[in-house]
Amino acid sequence: MTWPLATRMSDQMAGQVGDNIYFVWMIGWFKKALIDLHVNPFNVWFLNYPEGWSLAYTEITPAQLLLAAPFSLIASPTFAYNAAHLLSFLLSGLIMSLWVRRLTDSNGAALLAGTAYAFLPFHFAHFLIGHLNLSGLQWFPLFFWGFFDLLLYPPDGATASGKYQDRVQPAGSAIVKTGIGLGLIALTSQYYLYMTCLIAVFIWVIYTAFINRSIWCDRNFWKHWIFASLVALPLIAIAVAPYVSLAGRGELPDRELGVVRPYSAGLTDFLLPSTDHFVWGSWVGAHFNRDMWVEGTLYVGLVNLGLAVFAWLNRQKTGNRKLLILMGAGGALALLLAMGTDLHWNGAPVEIPTPAFLQGMISRSTIPIPLPGWLLFKYFPLYAKLRALMRFGIFVLLFICTAAGLGAAQVLKRFAPRWKSALTVGLILLVLFDFYPGPYSEFAKVQARPVDAWLASQPGSDAVVQMPFSIAEDQEHTYYTLVHGKPYVGGFFNAFPPAQYKRIKPILNNFPDKESTALLRDLEVHWVLVDPTCYPDWKKTRKEIENFGFELEAEPGGMAVFIPQVEK
């Protein structure tokens, strides 16, 4: 499904250079920090130099880095990055299949559900764009496996009345799955942690308030949840500590509503195949608005949806009625929250004429249709820290894949044993056809520039800056620091730019001028890298740089390297 990545693991990544190379850098930096330098990898003193930078300004994803770590010891960071992605596919399918097998006692249904979940178009979209953190889908089925086992586990002394309770594992196993699963989600993505807690608490409330109120009086029920929380707490504390520290200093501000609104899913996002589909992907891209294709690739799959509906219609026969109801409730909430702050359709907001009673208060002819996400954004704790609300859609996909496994088990029961294998293979092939992106043809090579090798050969640890400064926060420039090893004034700061960077960016964007060159001296920058291809009149620009007291030192690979004259 990811071919031909396996033939290019060492020095190439699927797709174009983007967020992917930042995660390659992170893998390389963690290895260097822990193995070579023996320093705290979260404190990146050499980026945003001289102020320094914390990795918590972006997602750190320690769990995914841990998957990459063994490979980074024996191969390149690029190989380790690719290996971690491939493991995310493998583990996602494996854990989902184990859960569904436990629920259904059907190997065929388990294999189908695992295949469907592993190869969701959502997974491929984030794999292709390079979101190593958001590709870590493998812990969701682990957590919800334990979560539903704890929630539906019969209290002590009670007789299990439903088939689900007959199949759940002992409370100790469910406690470990729940706690470790949630901890690993926290160590994968803070988005995923927040969203998982919100969906799980909603499901928990639905069950205890409307389905089984008597459970409130059972001490073992509460004891199990306390133990699960204690298992999860250390991992969650490690995961959130860097972000809590930044938030305490006021450096993780809320998002603006105008930034969040475009990341609102519409129903078309769940019903349209991926634009990467090998047969009709191009047609979808040509006839529908897929500007937000990365976050908006939420296709549930026709086979998945059909089998999930079949499971719902036969929920009494499956012995999973309560489970399906709870997954339906959680999926419905996730769908609603993925739709963002106001109603969207085909990538555009849906607006209605302003009612007469509002026309005196609102100076616009149309207004959006607000959704519950708008209230949560305004008033619910930490909700305004989120940007891509579409990501709630992963829980819709998770529960549909699980329900599809339950539905597949019911379908397979209706056929004689000699036909079950053929039917299982047929259903899996349909799923693969529904999701197959075709062989990948676009790969980006991960390599440093000649100027980085040249800088690495220069003695000392003097600071470097890249001009024009507008490209200083491009991810590849962060990766280059692995090679040249010099402090760097820029960094990958697109999520939450640090204070120094916000202060100096408007000044250095005007380089070369008196104020910007003076600031470079204040920052003790020694190496000024200037890309001549970014300046229409390079001869004029070079003369201006020299007039402000810098001289050309070298031009490795065509990159002009200037140093302050007074320091030569």
Q: At residue 65, what are phi and psi to the nearest 5 degrees?
A: -65, -35
Three-state SS letters, 498-543? CHHHHHHHHHHCCCCCHHHHHHHHHCCEEEEEECHHHCCCHHHHHH
Angle in degrees, 0-180, between the axes of helices 107-118 and 393-413, rounded to the nearest 10: 160
Closest CA to 16 of 121, 130, 131, 132: 130
Q: Are 112 and 431 in contact (CB under 8 A)?
A: yes
What single-letter amino acid sits at 73?
A: L
Residue 348 is inside which H or E element, if any?
strand 348-349
Q: What is the pLDDT at residue 427?
A: 97
Closest CA to 516 of 468, 455, 452: 468
Q: What is the pLDDT at residue 166?
A: 53
Give the number of other Cβ atoms within 10 Å of residue 445's Cβ. Answer: 10
Secondary-structure breakdown of the chain: helix, strand, coil percentages, each rounded to the nearest 5:
60, 10, 30
Closest CA to 23 of 75, 83, 78: 78
- For strand 463-467 and strand 525-530, is the pairing parallel, antiparallel, or unpaired? parallel
Q: Are 88 and 23 in contact (CB under 8 A)?
A: no
- For strand 560-564 and strand 525-530, is the pairing parallel, antiparallel, or unpaired? antiparallel
d(CA 181, CA 175): 10
Angle in degrees, 0-180, between the axes of helices 190-206 and 219-248, rounded to the nearest 10: 150
What is the number of residues in the chain? Answer: 568
d(CA 153, CA 147): 10
Q: What is the pLDDT at residue 409?
A: 96
Angle in degrees, 0-180, between the axes of helices 302-313 and 321-338, rounded to the nearest 10: 140
Q: Which residues pair with 561 in a beta bridge?
A: 529, 554
How many angstroms separate the first and last alpha carbons of the chain?
A: 55
d(CA 491, CA 47): 6
Q: Are 129 and 475 in contact (CB under 8 A)?
A: no
pTM: 0.93
Query: If you write DSSP's letter for every residue of 125-171 in order, what string do you get?
Result: HHHHHT-TTTT-TTHHHHHHHHHHHHHHPPPTTPPP-SHHHHHSPPH
Angle in degrees, 0-180, between the axes of helices 190-206 and 171-186, rounded to the nearest 10: 140
Written as tens digits, the pLDDT of the chain (568 aa) is 999 999 999 999 999 998 999 999 999 999 999 999 898 888 899 999 999 988 887 888 999 999 999 999 999 999 999 999 999 999 999 999 999 999 999 999 999 999 999 999 999 999 999 999 999 999 999 999 999 999 997 644 333 344 555 555 578 899 999 999 999 999 999 999 999 999 999 999 999 999 999 999 989 899 999 999 999 999 999 999 988 887 887 778 899 999 999 999 999 999 999 999 999 999 999 999 999 999 999 999 999 999 999 999 999 888 899 999 999 999 999 999 999 999 999 999 999 888 877 777 777 888 899 999 999 999 999 999 999 999 999 999 999 999 999 999 999 999 988 899 999 999 999 999 999 999 999 999 999 999 999 999 999 999 999 999 999 888 999 999 999 999 999 888 776 788 899 999 999 999 999 999 999 999 999 999 999 999 999 999 999 999 999 999 999 999 999 999 854 4
Please state, in angstroms and as integers, the Cα–Cα distance from residue 505 to each residue in 42, 263, 413, 559, following that order: 23, 27, 64, 21
Q: What is the pLDDT at residue 356?
A: 77
d(CA 351, CA 394): 26
d(CA 221, CA 152): 10
d(CA 107, CA 412): 10
